Amino acid sequence: MSVNWLASATRGAGRTAVGFLTVGLLSGVAQAQAVPSERIEAFVAVMAEHGCRMSPFQADEVMPGAGFDDKAETKAITEQLITEERARILDGQLVVFGGACGGKLDYSGRERFFAAVADNNCVMTIDEAKLLLPRVGVEMKEVQLLMDKMLRMSEIRLSSDETAVFLEENLCDKFKGLSPQMMASTPEAAVEPRSADELRADFIEYMQGVGCTLGRSEADRQLPAAGFTTKELRPVIGAMIQAGEAEMNVADDSLTISEELCPR
């Protein structure tokens, strides 16, 4: 039997460690804290200093020292930025647009969700969402953060058993056929990607914090949360191995950074 939308969101909240990515669908906390605009812009300014994107691991390291140690506040700021279509959750990271970060969204997460539902006969279950939402560039966490607003505005409704979402008829007509455009667009284009040198430096800094050695199973679990993807790291690690800066241990399938770069 399919998991329902509300239960799925509740479990998502329990799994997310950092405040600004905590999902609290339809909870009182989600609406309880109004954040002054100056605090929001100060938060965006901190994000701008770190490339306008941040993973949960990076947030735990950076935000408390920048004056954002109250996770309830950072959660409220994140939800407000996403609701105002100034932020997205992409590859598990918060990505901010506008203000100090500049750039703008091509399509918001809300619009991408509408298009996916519209092109699925205006209804979607959780199981379908897991397959269809990534294709149009929106993650379940982001949809869950927007769910309360969409329900309050009657843009969507839930089935009686809460296993399916139905899109409002006018919105369904408006967004039908737009999925291909969403799929072809690149929501991350407004954010400058890290150069190879920046990526190498960030990776070395991360490895210094985890003891200079990382197994494959740990890497699969920890690196995405730290803001790295396999696609971008593969050539960096390959170059480091070639240069003798890192060594791959075939026996235990682990990567170790040289002592010169990562003092023990």
Mean pLDDT (whole number) for 171-178: 91
Give yes or no for residue 28 having a pLDDT over 50.
Answer: no
- pTM > 0.85: no
HSE on the CB side for 112, CA within 13 Å? 28
Give the contacts of 134 (CB within 8 A, at least 6 positions apart). Answer: none
Mean pLDDT (whole number) for 95-102: 80
pLDDT tens by residue, 139-158: 888 888 888 889 989 999 99
pLDDT tens by residue, 104-124: 666 778 888 999 999 999 999
Give yes or no for residue 256 having a pLDDT over 90.
Answer: yes
CA dihedral 13, 209, 236, 232 (to 10 degrees): 10
pLDDT tens by residue, 35-72: 888 888 899 889 988 888 888 888 888 999 999 999 89
Report pLDDT for 157: 94
Give yes or no for residue 228 having a pLDDT over 80.
Answer: no
